Every structure is written in C-alpha cells, then in structure tokens.
C-alpha cells in the first residue's frame, strides 16, 4: 500500500489538469513509514489508530488507480508525488464535473481565520452539504465548454438543480445516464453509511461521462482531493453524508424530469 501522512494525506498538484495522461498528487510522508498490512483486529496502525482495512480497501475502490511514486523538483528540492490514473483518458468527448462535498470544508485544526474564509466562500454549502466547483465538457461540435467555481457560486440552495441539470444534459434528455450516475453515487453513499475510519474535509466527487452520443455514456464517479482527511474516532462522517444525501436527492429529481420528458416524446397521444 501507499504511505500515508499524518492528518494531511495528499495535496493535489493540479486539480485543473483534467485531461493529462496522469495526475500527480503530493504525498506528505509521516515518520512512521509504510502502512501496516493490518493487525489481528484488522485495523491499520502507524499513526492511524482505529482505521479498518475494510474501510481502506473500500475507499481504494472509489479513487483513481495508483501507479507509483515520482519525484518532481520544486524550489530546488525533490518532492514526492503519487502518479494517479487519468479517469478521462478512455473518453472521446469527456464531460467532467467537480463537486466539493461537506457542509463544512475546513478541518478540525484550521485556524479561526481559515474557518472564516471557508465559511464565506459559499454560504449555501452549510445547507446543501456540497457545492459545484465547475465542469469541463467536450461538445459534439468540437468546442470545449468550461465553467469555473464562480459559475458554481451563482447557484444557491434554491437553484442548484439548474446547475446540475446543465451538466447532466450534455447528451440531451438521457434517463439512462442519470440512472447510471445515481447508481455510482449510491455506491459511495453505502460506503459512507458504514465506514467509521475517515473524516473528509474539502474533498470532491468527480463525475465523468462520455459526451460522444455515438457511444455509451459510461459514467464514472471517483473521490478526489484528500488534503484534509482525519481519523474519525469510530464516528460516521455526517458532514460528508449530509451532502451525499442532498446531492442524491437533487439527481433523483433530474432523473424524474428526464424520464417524464422521455415518456412524453415517445407517447402516441
């Protein structure tokens, strides 16, 4: 397994490089070294007491594949980075959405200044439990549409459905796409409903689908951005779960809308 740091596991080198062949993540090493293979009670020690191997393996199945380490010179120092899978590499016209999860995006050791700064970024997040950071869509006509975090901030708890609908409408009215996306999201929900090893702050979900309509949508959903992950002390991550449930509810509404519109188009009446 990879080495894990103390309270900070990974820092993203570039979350905007969505179309490279690989993504590099900085790895902050702990003095304890490698993660153990698991003790008699199937928990991981070495600085992460109470972390179960089952939870860690479940998390690994929902993240980009790990291909090893590399060193990158930064400010005359070699910094270790993880080489992670580019989950968009097999798509012809990928559509990519970044959703930051959790009602609170500052971690337990954040300063008062940091907490105030995070709280001001997007007040509706305390209600929604998530916010849209933006999307990148390769369109049928060859153009690339990019919407940034400022675009995402334009939606609040009353209008957030419109922002999600804009992204998931890339292929037109496609109930199958939404069903697949909801299935992938439910897998994440099921894991969070049981895992009591990790608490995630300022982490994201990355949705990807094929926007070439001659091909299947092939929806992928991975968890990314782990700069602020902490042991949960055997507690559920309710901060993240609230956002998951709200996001699932909003996406269900889109599926219902797509299904209704699709049925009306095929109706002979």
Question: Which pTM value belongs to this model?
Answer: 0.82
Classify residue 77 by burial, with Cβ atoms within 10 Å: 0-12, 13-18, 19+: exposed
Domain boundaries, the chain: 10-266
* pLDDT tens digits, one per residue of 167-200: 999 999 999 999 999 999 999 999 999 999 999 9
Handedness of CA 16, 17, 19, 22 (dihedral sign): negative
CB 126 within 8 A of CB 239: no
CATH of domain 10-266: 3.30.470.160
- Check residue 220 and give its pLDDT: 98
Range 45-70 average pLDDT: 84
Tell me which residue of 54, 83, 90, 87 sits closest to 66, measured CA to CA. Answer: 83
What single string gives the DSSP state of each residue in 43-112? EE-TT-TTEEHHHHHHHHTTSPPEEEEEEEEETTEEEEEEEEE-TTTT-SSEEEEEEEE-S--S-TT--H
């Amino acid at each position: 397994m990879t080495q894990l740091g103390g309270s900070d596991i990974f820092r993203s080198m570039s979350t905007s490089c969505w179309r490279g062949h690989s993504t590099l993540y900085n790895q902050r090493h702990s003095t304890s070294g490698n993660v153990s293979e698991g003790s008699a009670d199937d928990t991981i020690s070495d600085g992460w007491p109470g972390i179960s191997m089952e939870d860690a393996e479940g998390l690994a199945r929902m993240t980009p594949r790990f291909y090893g380490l590399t060193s990158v010179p930064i400010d005359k120092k070699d910094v270790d980075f993880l080489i992670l899978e580019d989950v968009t590499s097999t798509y012809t016209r990928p559509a990519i959405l970044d959703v930051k999860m959790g009602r609170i995006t500052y971690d337990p050791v954040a300063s008062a200044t940091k907490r105030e700064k995070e709280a001001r970024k997007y007040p509706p997040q305390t209600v929604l439990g998530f916010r849209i950071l933006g999307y990148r869509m390769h369109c049928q006509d060859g153009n690339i549409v990019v919407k940034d975090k400022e675009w995402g901030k334009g939606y609040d708890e009353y209008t957030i459905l419109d922002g999600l609908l804009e992204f998931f409408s890339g292929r037109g009215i496609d109930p199958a796409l939404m069903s697949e996306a909801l299935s992938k999201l439910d897998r994440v929900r099921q894991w969070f409903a049981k895992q009591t090893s990790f608490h995630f702050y300022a982490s994201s979900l990355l949705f990807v689908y094929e926007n070439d309509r001659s091909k299947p949508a092939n929806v992928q959903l991975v968890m990314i951005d782990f700069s602020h992950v902490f042991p949960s002390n055997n507690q559920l991550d309710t901060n993240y779960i609230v956002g998951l449930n709200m996001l699932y509810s909003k996406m269900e509404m889109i599926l219902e809308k797509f299904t209704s519109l699709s049925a009306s188009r095929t109706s002979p009446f």
